[in-house]
Amino acid sequence: MIKRVFSIFTEFKWRMAMVIAIGIAGIILFSLTPTYLNHALGRLEDAIFSGGTTNADITFIFQMVGIFLGLILINEIFAVICAFLILDYEKKGIQQYQINVKRKLDVVPIRFLEKYDTGDLSRIVCYNTPDMLRNVLLVTYQIARASFFFITTSIAMFGINWILALVVIGSLPIAYLTARFVSSKTQKHFRHQNLTNTYLNTFLDRRVSMHGFYREHGLDTDSTEFNKKIEDHRYATTRELTAVAFNTIYITFIRNFMFLLITVLCCVLFLNGMISIVALPTFLLFSQRFLDNIVVVTTATNILQLMEARAKYIFKILDTSEDITQHEHIEINKIKGDIEFKKVTLQEDDNILLNNVSFKIPHGGSVAIVGPTGSGKHRVVELLSKMGNPTHGTITIDGVNLSEIKSSSFYRRMGVASDRPFIFKGTVADNILYGIGRALPERVMGTTKRLGSHGFIEQLPRGYDTEINSNTNLISISQKQAINVARTVLQSPDLVIIDSALSMADNMIERQVFDEIMKSNKNQTKVFVTGRLGSVQNCDLIIYMENGKIREKGTHKELMTKKGKYFKSFTGT
């Protein structure tokens, strides 16, 4: 993942190499500054012990101090220039990557987009992308500079005293191992904060963008959910900030402890005549700068933890198979002819959801797709309703590839009733006529009578004129599903798909409704998805699925004769 993030800045690799080279040159010059200070102090010591300073001594000392200050100034100028260039490269990289992600969202399947609530995707693109990329180049630059600083400073310290040098250098692996341990324990807090941040912003986006809708339809405005999300976000943010602060605490402790240890050792070695008094301040300056630079371990750890928490969401978008709607060019006025799945495979990440699925739905026929939970039957419906595209294989209608049919014209001739009915504030009649416009009352009641929903509607306070909405207990979930099915059937589509749309009704009602739909409109193709095998006995074709594969297909009688998986599921043996 880290390698992939860095590959985003491939365009700037040579410019970054130049920036790093400038930074390294500055840090090498900076690492030499204690040497010139040591020369100045040594000359001053010699002059004092020789009986007095001469003009030559003073000139030399000022020259050394001047070089010392000049090298520090040059390093700071180099650092400012490099930081400015890096920030510019990062800004360009972030902008380009956001554009790439946006382009990807324009071509991914609708099924992928529907996994996210309002605001989720905008949050990922607008916030997670910059968070993932911000400071990546800067940390790369700092690590490169620090590496050369450690090398040059180590050489200089070994020239003064190898024992002290080993102690100072030992702080680096200690800091690295501590960072590895701490990050393994705190990474979950970075991920959790990102999730709660997304959930909170999604909730706010939905409330703000749909404020008028909520008010118009009298939907619940209870603040309990909002307060819970605020509390979750506060807790997660506190944990993430604590993790960042702890990184600073342990690196500060290591730095201060090691510097104290080195100071004590310098005194011990000086008392034993193993280091001169002139070399003491020089070595302490070298060691202090060495220890100050191990903070790069913490900086890199924080950036990498933040990057890892954000990156998987960005890459999930970029790795999604693209939609092929740009190839749609066929307008249809009617869905006619057979529907055929030809070696269809659907893969999501590393999961194979459908595996080499092939079957034919005859025009005007009734087909049931059954199987246990996770069998892949709902995935078949997603592909058939153009809510996604197969990874491999083709789906054709009357010999025409479904991916080439314009979605707008296809949706006008196809109706889907799912297990999650959309019920809005309005009358029962308004809900049944949603998407239809107008229809004669006789036609509406004729449909509800055939589907068995007329009875409970008539018992409502005002019958078909009863006001309902999704938050009322006036009607049950199964009754909402019945209204949803009636709405779909009343549209008279060429292809009707009933996808577990009566899952909350009892077995007898579901079977009666299915049988009624099968008998109506012989030119209409019907597809039923259910977990109840008894409801689809009269279908022209039954497809039994398991683990994304078709295990058996045929009529009810044929499958019962085989005494295979369908038989065992139907009989419970």
Cβ(375)–Cβ(529) below 8 Å: no
Residues (pLDDT < 70) of the chain are 1-2, 37-38, 41, 45, 47, 49, 51-53, 103, 106-127, 201-223, 225, 278, 321-326, 435, 437, 469-473
Q: What is the pLDDT of residue 400?
A: 92
Q: What is the pLDDT of residue 208?
A: 58
Q: Could you report the per-residue pLDDT of 88-123, keeping only the tens digit for each?
A: 888 887 777 777 777 677 666 665 666 665 556 666
Q: What is the pLDDT of residue 115?
A: 64
Q: What is the pLDDT of residue 223?
A: 64
Identity (one letter) of the amino acid at 222? Answer: D
Q: What is the pLDDT of residue 114?
A: 61
pTM of the model: 0.52
Phi, then psi, of 149 in degrees rounded to 5: -65, -45
Strands (E), 363-459: 366-370, 392-397, 400-401, 414-417, 426-427
Gap between the Cα atoms of 345 and 354, Å rounded = 5
Q: What is the pLDDT of residue 111?
A: 59
Q: What is the pLDDT of residue 547?
A: 92
Q: What is the pLDDT of residue 217?
A: 47
Residues 6+ positions from 198 with CB-CB distance below 8 Å:
120, 123, 124
End-to-end, the C-alpha distance of the chain in Å comes to: 48
Question: 3-class SS at 343?
Answer: strand
